[in-house]
Amino acid sequence: MNLHPALIREIQNRKFEIAHNGLYLPRSHALVAGVFGSRVKRGSSFTPWSWSDNIIVNQGLDHILDVILHAATQVTTWYIAPFEGNYTPVATDTAANITANSTESTAYDESTRVEYVEAAASSQSITNAASVAVFTINDTKTMFGAFLVSASAKSATTGSLLAASRFATSRAVIAADVLQVTYTLTAADA
């Protein structure tokens, strides 16, 4: 990723703000933020897509800054995990505590968290919309949100947490339903 020198200077000089949904660079009027999408397929019918702003947690913001400016090792594979707790993610959530804080759901057939398969960035956004994360539900649950994390094992407490979101509309699911989740991260002039 090639950043404009002014953006790099702003970050290096700590001239940024942690916004409720991402990283805001006031001098450059730039915002890095994301949104989760979700819907449920029951039989052959889909619920409408619902979109919810995320929080890019402190651990995720540190990871972004370290990789871009401090030559830290990049995470090359991310995973989406749904949660069933009536929980609103906060900036201090980490990979070590999001599982317990949000009551991560493991009520799906896939053996691990579902890989986030993103397309190349385009128009300052990166998304898995062309390859949505699919969870084949195996129990009656209410899914309240999802998060993006670097560890693949269900309920793992290792790795890095990038972002999390409470869905705008909770998703009531039953066995054989399919929960679909997308995540789009955008860097935009704000």
Q: What is the pLDDT of residue 129?
A: 94
Q: What is the pLDDT of residue 94?
A: 98
Residues of the chain with pLDDT under 50: 1-3
Q: What is the pLDDT of residue 123?
A: 80
- Answer for the pair 163, 54: CB distance below 8 angstroms, yes or no: yes
Whole-number Å distance between alpha carbons of 102 and 105: 9
Q: Which residues contact 40 (CB under 8 A, 6 or more apart)?
A: 46, 47, 171, 172, 173, 177, 178, 179, 180
**Four-point Cα dihedral 63, 100, 145, 186, nearest 10:** 0
Q: What is the pLDDT of residue 146?
A: 98
pLDDT digits (tens, 9 = 90+) for 44-69: 999 999 999 899 899 998 998 898 88
- Answer for the pair 93, 146: CB distance below 8 angstroms, yes or no: no
Where do the structural domains in the chain lie, given as residue ranges?
35-183
